[in-house]
Structure 1
Amino acid sequence: MKVAFFSSKSYDKEYFNLHNQEGKHDLTFFEVSLNPDTIELTNGYEAICVFVNDKVDAQAIERLSENGVKIIALRCAGYNNIDLKAAHEKDIKVVRVPAYSPEAVAEHAVALIMTLNRKIHKAFNRVREGNFSIEKLTGFNLYKKTVGVIGTGKIGIAFCNIMLGFGCKIIAYDPYEADGLKEKGIQYTSLDELLEKSDIISLHCPLTPKTQHLLNNEAFTKMKEGVMIINTSRGALIKTSDAIEALKKRKIGYLGVDVYEEEEKLFFRDLSEYLIQDEILLRLIGFPNVLITAHQGFLTQEALTQISTTTLNNITSFEKGEPLENEVKWENPD
């Protein structure tokens, strides 16, 4: 099957070509994102493969259908950038990678915690400049701290297991409780109780209309003074403008994010020679207690292997007319 990849990077080409055994599929990689200006590139392809910031709205679906696209393969778990209703109406299948090394993202969340807490990034820069002072690098012990985990899917569970190893007390919020966590001493609470009691809050839930701006002014007022907030899920879970106000008031003591709600035009690109126009992001970067990485939580060898093999298997199953194990279906609210 001919497959057009959008927003592709060198690692996409490397791993997808490696696992495209015997050249089963004809893969074409476009570095550009899928948007109204690039959608004509899909002409002649039965399948497209997109990533988190490709725009696949109703208008795009209409054009994809006209161009003969039969299946949209997401090489990620989230699908909030796809208009599922429009895809359903045009009989275009949507598949995803529901889990790709959950440990990769969970470990990155822990890396953000440790770096922010012990100020590793600041110490690194100091030593490179010959400054061996440890003034103002004081952190805190993770041992016995209360860590609130919002979302206990596979990534959330992996994160819980790591933090248990630090000797933390874990409390969690999720409408669907995960089997086995309670036996490990993890307590499920209401969202309000989690916000009030946590020293560290880590987000591991999907972006939906209900979770958009889950952390906003109202939520920040319920938190402890100096709370640490970590987000490796989706940027719009946090209302960034409200987070900036909470940082200014020192309600948020540390903020570590691998995602940003307006990342579409920024992340996965080298903009070092350009003037960044996003005033909110520039304000965030200016805080000494904020650490931002550019959506790299998934970027491990193991995760890339799982992403490529699962995506290619999804496309192969469609081509053979087999049941689609990882299909994302539109659910009629009526």
Structure 2
Amino acid sequence: MQLAVFSAKPYDKKYLTSARATELNTTTNIEVIFHEFALSLETVPLAKDASAVCVFVNDDLGAPVLESLHASGVRAVLLRCAGYNNVDLDAAQRLGLFVANVPSYSPEAVAEFAVAQIQTLNRNTHRAYNRVREGNFSLQGLLGRTLHGKTVGVLGTGRIGVAFARIMHGFGCKLLAYDVFENPEFKNYGEYAASLDHLLSSSDFVSLHCPLTEKTRHIINDDTLAKMKPGAMLVNTSRGGLINTKAVIAALKRKHLGGLALDVYEGEGALFYNDHSGHIIDDDELMRLTTFHNVLVCGHQAFFTEEALREIAEGTIANLNDFLHGRQCKYALVQDKVGTPLVRRESVPIRI
């Protein structure tokens, strides 16, 4: 069989190849083809000889693409990431496609990056770095706040949210969380707020660690931003669609939002993971964000550690192994169980 890997970067090739050699050592005749292009209706023909495709966060897995994949003989979709908001699971179920993600890779990688963004933006180290390179050692405009004793709001207490809380607890912060599914482990570091409004109005820093669903899309909007403590900082290392970009720009302009650190962006699909330094970027909202001195934007790199890439690759290949051998897959989102109708993993709360 052939596995077509889309949006493949050199590091994907390295870690997937290594994981394949380890995890598929009992399986023969597995040909892996890497494509640097994202999966879309235009690139579906690249999977014409494949039985399975491996995709990433910004690949298009809407119904038209899934139907084209199925028509070409593809029977499995392997997500080398936790999020699956880019997959039409209804269409996958209707077509009988196996779909699996990797929900449990190195939560510390993302949590540590969220802390790094807070530290960088709060203490203005990115601005200090640029100043010193030009011989400017003035401290004016670089004033930050001590984290110790501050209230940090954690929106979403899955694996990453708890890992983040653990670190911030070590800084001596007060942790306040909001999640529809309370996690007993979080209670070792903080307490749950009675409501989202309470969390927003009480927190000096708010960090987003929830999945993107219809209920969480634009959970940060004009109304919720107005409820945040004046001068508070907002951090998002989760999903870009959690934030209404126009709303945060407005909040920054009226100086109600004290700072914004983003590793994800709702319009990132056409930009992130590729070099656009030689092109004119026509995303006016993203470009407007980069003009604020109190905004830090990174290119969805929070997961990007050796440990996380190794775990993602191993999890992806393990899911492929389950598919090839007809085994029940622990992380299947859609799977055809032997002797039963096609089922979806809907009863398990979505946690990241």
TM range (shorter): over 0.9
Residue 331 of structure 1 deviates from its aligned partner by 6.8
Q: Which residue of 2 aligns with 1:293?
A: 298
Instruction: Identify the residue that residue 143 of structure 1 maps to in structure 2.
Output: 148
Measured after TM superposition, the shift of residue 231 of structure 1 is 0.2
- Aligned residue number for residue 307 of structure 2: 302
In the alignment, structure 1 residue 277 sits paired with structure 2 residue 282:
yes
Correspondence for 2:111: 106
Aligned to 2:52: 47
| d(CA) in 2 for partners of 1:182, 1:11 | 37
1:77 aligns with 2:82: yes
Q: Tell me the amino acid that sits aligned with residue 15 of structure 2.
A: Y
Contact 1:171 1:189 in 2 (8 A): no
One-letter amino acid matched to 2:6: F
Mapped partners of 1:259, 1:251: distance in 2: 21
Please give the TM-score of this superposition, normalised by the length of structure 2: 0.92
**Who is 2:12 aligned against?**
12
Aligned CA RMSD, in angstroms, stands at 1.4
Cα distance between partner residues in 1 of 2:107 and 2:181: 18
Please say if residues 50 and 72 of structure 1, whose CA atoms lie closer than 8 Å, have aligned partners that are also in contact: yes
Equivalent AA in structure 2 for residue 295 of structure 1: H
Equivalenced residue count is 333
- For 2:337, the equivalent position in structure 1 comes to none
Which secondary structure state, in structure 1, belongs to the residue aligned with residue 230 of structure 2? coil
Q: What displacement does 1:126 show?
A: 1.1
Unaligned 5+ segments in structure 2 are 335-343, 348-352
Say whether the 8 Å CA contact 1:197–1:223 is kept in structure 2: yes
Offset at residue 307 of structure 1 (A): 0.2
**1:179-212 Cα distance to aligned partner (Å, 9 max, x none):** 2322434334311100110100000000000000
Matches within 5 A, 1:49-68: 49-68=54-73
The answer to whether the 8 A contact 1:6-1:30 is kept is yes
CA deviation profile, 1:107-136 (whole Å, cap 9, x unmatched): 000000000011111111111112122221
Number of the residue aligned with 2:322: 317
* Partner-residue secondary structure (3-state), 1:256: strand
Deviations 1:36-62 (A, max 9, x none): 110111101001000000001111111
Shift of 1:105: 0.3
Q: TM-score, normalised by structure 1?
A: 0.97
Partner of 2:187: 182
* Pairing 1:234–2:239 present: yes
What's the secondary structure of 2:206's corresponding residue? strand
Q: State the shift of 1:66 in Å.
A: 0.5
Task: Report percent identity of matched pairs.
Answer: 49
Give the CA deviation at 1:255: 0.1
Would you say the 8 A contact 2:175–2:189 is kept in 1?
Answer: no
Return 5+ residue gaps in structure 1 as ranges: none
Instruction: Look up the SS of the partner of 1:201 in the other structure.
Output: strand
Distance 1:299 1:90 in 2: 33
Q: How does 1:80-99 map to 2 (within 5 A)?
A: 80-99=85-104
2:251 matched residue in structure 1: 246
Amino acid at match of 1:146: T
Q: Which moved more, 1:12-21 or 1:175-184?
A: 175-184
